[in-house]
């Protein structure tokens, strides 16, 4: 009897020790910043800024000078936050794009767990929708991408325009999405402006400084940039022999994951991405801890939905056409392999199906997921966009949204048709 009681006691103790563990492991981690990126609402963000600084922010928009502000969102406010003008092609003195650094003046200061956030001014997108739609679609397809939401921005309680809140790709993003944050993160920051030869992952030589800090700009570990891994990666992409290429590249890249990224960009008609018109562009690059393996992270998708309202953007743009010196060497070599070629086309079809999911025809036709999302976001931002005429007129906004709607309605069928054509033809020669 006593022995049984003892056994029961030990059993209860053991279960008791396990129970909290099980409960904890089943509870999803709550990210305090989720509410800030809640895309079911249009946010209001208010910045209190000195009048001289506000003037300077507009006049000296090419400068990266920081200005101190008080940041307020809902019932939360934070003093001593730094903002600065940002962007390359989107830099504007009329409607400055903003980088907001919560830790600019205090290393440990965070807002809802965030060290910084981007306020994209969408000066290149009259619809205000492309970036947010594209990143949402990346996440819908299972890839890691920045969270986004729309916000009305106020300077000293004066409306300053409709902005897209973009999650920063930083250590916090890395930890949240990849479970680690201690290795090297780079932003691909090559000058692809007219007159410059694009960097197409072509081997430039054994000097690692040819790759870091340009075009691979260190974003973490700035004093320990480890450029030799980049040099080896580029050598492998461009120089490794065909026989050993797949095996060699596997050390540096998860090719199936990369092909998936490529296919999503292609479906979204990304004109300034990995196979962009100006050479490869708009991605971050992360090397996993203690490995040679790199990870592409999408960035700045404001040039997606290109050629809208036409849904016929070529799925092999700058792969089979376009200037030869703009064609990405990694893509060129990868798509020669039948299995990767098939994966590329399969993923495009998967994108098409996902975008059109829920669509019905007949007497009461229902739009697919992408069309529904365009309409939802449009209704959410419409009033704020119409009140913001700093860059685009109301007519330009409405037309751009109409174009996106047309693209969304026809893109799945257009892609499927192109996929069928190229599936029959086979991989890149």
Partner 1 sequence: MLIRLLLAAWLCVIAAPGQAADVQNDQPTAEAAKPGKNAKPKDQSKPKKQKKPKSNVPAPDEPINPEEQIEPTVAEPSGGGWRFSWKQHPSIRYGSVFRLDGQAKFQEDGHSTYEGAVDVPGWELHRNRIGISGYLSKKIEYEIERELTEKELTDKDILAGVTEASHWKDVNVNLTFVKNAQVQIGKFKVPFGLDQLTGVTHNDFIYRSLGASYLAPARDIGAMVHGRFFKRGLNYWAGFFQHDGDNARSKKIQGGDETFAARVTGMPFRKIASGSVAAIEVGSSFAISALSDDSFRPNGLRGRTVVSQDTFAEPVYVKGRRRRWEADADWASGPIAARTEYTWVSDDRLGQGLGDENLPDARARSWYVSGVWVVTAEDKTRPLKAASEFLQGGWGAVEVVARLERLWYDSAGPSTGVAFRNPRAETILPTGDRVVTVGANWILNRFTKLQINVIREHLEDADRNPVTNGGALWSRIVRLQFVL
**Residue ranges binding partner 1 (CB under 8 A):** 48-53, 56, 59-60, 62-63, 65, 68-70, 79-82, 104-108, 156, 223
Structure tokens at 20: 């909290």
Q: Which is nearer to partner 1, 209 or 247 (CB)?
A: 209
How many C-beta atoms lie closer than 10 Å to residue 275's C-beta? Answer: 26
Q: For the CB of residue 66, give the shortest distance to partner 1 in the complex, in Å.
A: 8
Q: For the CB of residue 62, give the shortest distance to partner 1 in the complex, in Å.
A: 8
Q: For the CB of residue 47, give the shortest distance to partner 1 in the complex, in Å.
A: 9
CB 106 within 8 A of CB 80: yes
Print the SS3 string covering the chain. CHHHHHHHHHHHHHHHHHHHHHHHHHCCCCCHHHHCCCCCCCEEEEEEECHHHHHHHHHCCCCCCCEEEEEEECCEEEEEEEEEEECCCCCCCCCCEEEEECCCCCCCCCECCECEEEEECCCCCCCCCHHHHHHHHHHHCCCCCCCEEEEEEEECCEEEEEEEEEECCCHHHHHHHHCCCCCCEEEECCCCCCCCCCCCCCCCCCCHHHCCCCCEEECCCCCCCCHHHHHHHHHHHHHCCHHHHHHHHCCCECHHHHHHHHHHHHHCCCCCCCCCECECCCEEEEECCCCCCEEEEECCCCCCCCCCCCCCCCCCCCCCCCCHHHCCHHHHHHCCCHHHHHHHHHHHHHHHHHHCCCCECCCCCECCHHHHHHHHHHHHHHHHHHCCCCCCCHHHHHHHHHHHHHHHHHHHHHHHHHHHHHHHHCCCC
Question: Which residue's structure tokens are 């992270």?
Answer: 297
Structure tokens at 190: 């090559």
């Amino acid at each position: 009897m006593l022995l049984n009681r003892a056994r029961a006691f030990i059993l209860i103790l053991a279960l008791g020790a396990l129970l909290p563990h099980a409960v904890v492991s089943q509870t999803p981690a709550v990210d305090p910043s989720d509410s800030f990126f809640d895309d079911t609402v249009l946010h209001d963000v208010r910045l209190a800024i000195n009048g001289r600084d506000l003037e300077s922010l507009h006049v000296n928009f090419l400068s990266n000078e920081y200005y101190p502000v008080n940041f307020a969102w809902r019932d939360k406010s934070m003093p001593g936050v730094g903002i600065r003008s940002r962007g390359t092609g989107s830099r504007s003195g009329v409607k400055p794009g903003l980088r907001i650094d919560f830790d600019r003046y205090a290393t440990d200061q965070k807002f809802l767990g965030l060290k910084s956030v981007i306020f994209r001014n969408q000066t290149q997108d009259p619809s205000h929708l492309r970036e947010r739609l594209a990143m949402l679609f990346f996440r819908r397809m299972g890839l890691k991408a920045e969270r986004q939401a729309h916000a009305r921005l106020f300077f000293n309680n004066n409306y300053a325009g409709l902005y897209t809140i973009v999650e920063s790709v930083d250590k916090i993003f890395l930890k949240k999405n990849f479970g680690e944050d201690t290795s090297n993160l780079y932003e691909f920051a090559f000058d692809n402006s007219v007159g410059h030869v694009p960097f197409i992952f072509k081997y430039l030589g054994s000097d690692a400084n040819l790759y870091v800090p340009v075009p691979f700009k260190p974003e973490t570990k700035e004093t320990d940039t480890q450029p030799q891994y980049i040099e080896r990666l580029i050598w492998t992409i461009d120089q490794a022999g065909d026989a050993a290429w797949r095996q060699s590249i596997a050390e540096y890249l998860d090719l199936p994951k990369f092909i998936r990224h490529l296919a999503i960009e292609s479906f979204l008609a990304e004109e300034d991405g990995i196979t962009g018109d100006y050479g490869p562009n708009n991605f971050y690059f992360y090397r996993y801890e203690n490995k040679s393996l790199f990870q592409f992270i999408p960035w700045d998708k404001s040039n997606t939905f290109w050629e809208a309202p036409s849904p016929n953007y070529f799925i092999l743009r700058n792969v089979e056409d376009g200037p030869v010196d703009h064609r990405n060497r990694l893509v060129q070599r990868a798509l020669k392999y039948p299995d990767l070629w098939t994966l590329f086309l399969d993923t495009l079809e998967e994108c098409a199906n996902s975008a059109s999911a829920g669509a019905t025809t007949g007497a009461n036709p229902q739009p697919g997921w992408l069309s529904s999302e365009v309409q939802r976001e449009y209704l959410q931002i419409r009033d704020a966009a119409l009140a913001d005429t700093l860059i685009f007129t109301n007519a330009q906004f409405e037309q751009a949204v109409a174009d996106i709607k047309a693209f969304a309605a026809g893109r799945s069928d257009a892609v499927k048709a192109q996929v069928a054509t190229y599936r029959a033809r086979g991989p890149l020669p």
